[in-house]
Amino acid sequence: MSPRPVHVTFVCSGNICRSPMGHVILQQMVDDAGLRHLVRVSSSGTGDWHVGEQADPRTVAELARHGYDGSRHRAREFDPAEFDDVDLVLASDEGHVRTLQRLARTPANRRKIRLVREFDPEAVAAGTLETGDPWYGGEDHFARCFTEVEAACRGILHYVRDQLDGRLDGRLGVLDDQQETGRP
């Protein structure tokens, strides 16, 4: 039996700007790395304002400028029950962290919540861990958001690979035990 995929979800306010960028970018990186069967990527918003809508056209345009396809995205609201299935909940800013902390029912679920930019060493060094909401700005805000999220996604992919290596090492250990003893 294959292990359950690592599930990473991005969360912003309405799931039309920041979190879809993370979702689309990381999904492409996962696919390019040949990890699609081992990693599940999703996104949602803390509010229900845009449920069912496409990503903001400026988000789709910025993604397209860099070779990513955000046209199939549909916004959805974060469901607290998702904590049971998700391994990493990536919030865009501290407001989202606070909202998600309130929704998390257990300390284990609260530990799953991190800021997206915690995975970008340059953002960590600069102390700028929040991803600003581009919705209120122009194309330059969306370009900056893209740059920040893409840099973080590189670190997220590295983190996920490390998690997978640990899982696979553990699984291989079980297989080795089975070969030696003849039982699970």
Whether 44 shows a pLDDT value over 70: the answer reads: yes
> Mean pLDDT over residues 131-154, rounded?
98
Give the number of other CB atoms < 10 A from CB of residue 183: 6
Range of the domain at 147: 6-181
CATH number reported for the structural domain that contains residue 128 in this entry: 3.40.50.2300
Q: What is the pTM of this model?
A: 0.90
Cβ 17 vs Cβ 24: under 8 Å: no
Q: Is 32 a catalytic residue?
A: no
* 3-class DSSP assignment, residue 126: helix
Interaxial angle between packed helices 57-65 and 139-181, expressed in degrees from 0 to 180 and rounded to the nearest 10: 70
Active-site residue, from 17, 18, 58, 120: 18
Which pLDDT score, from 0 to 100, does residue 181 have?
31
Whether 11 shows a pLDDT value over 60: the answer reads: yes
Which pLDDT score, from 0 to 100, does residue 166 have?
85
> Mean pLDDT over residues 122-148, rounded?
98
Active-site residue, from 48, 76, 133, 161: 133
Question: Whole-angstrom Cα distance, residue 119 to residue 8?
Answer: 13
Assigned domain for 146 exists: yes
Which pLDDT score, from 0 to 100, does residue 174 have?
28
Assigned domain for 1 exists: no
Whether 147 shows a pLDDT value over 80: the answer reads: yes
Question: How many structural domains is the chain composed of?
Answer: 1
What are 70-110's pLDDT values in tens digits?
999 999 999 999 999 999 999 999 999 999 999 999 999 99
Q: Is 12 a catalytic residue?
A: yes
Give the number of other CB atoms < 10 A from CB of residue 87: 15
Question: Whole-angstrom Cα distance, residue 138 to residue 170?
Answer: 48
Assigned domain for 103 exists: yes
pLDDT, the chain, mean: 92
pLDDT band for 169, please (50, 70, 90 cuts): low
Q: Which residue has the higher pLDDT, 178 or 24?
A: 24
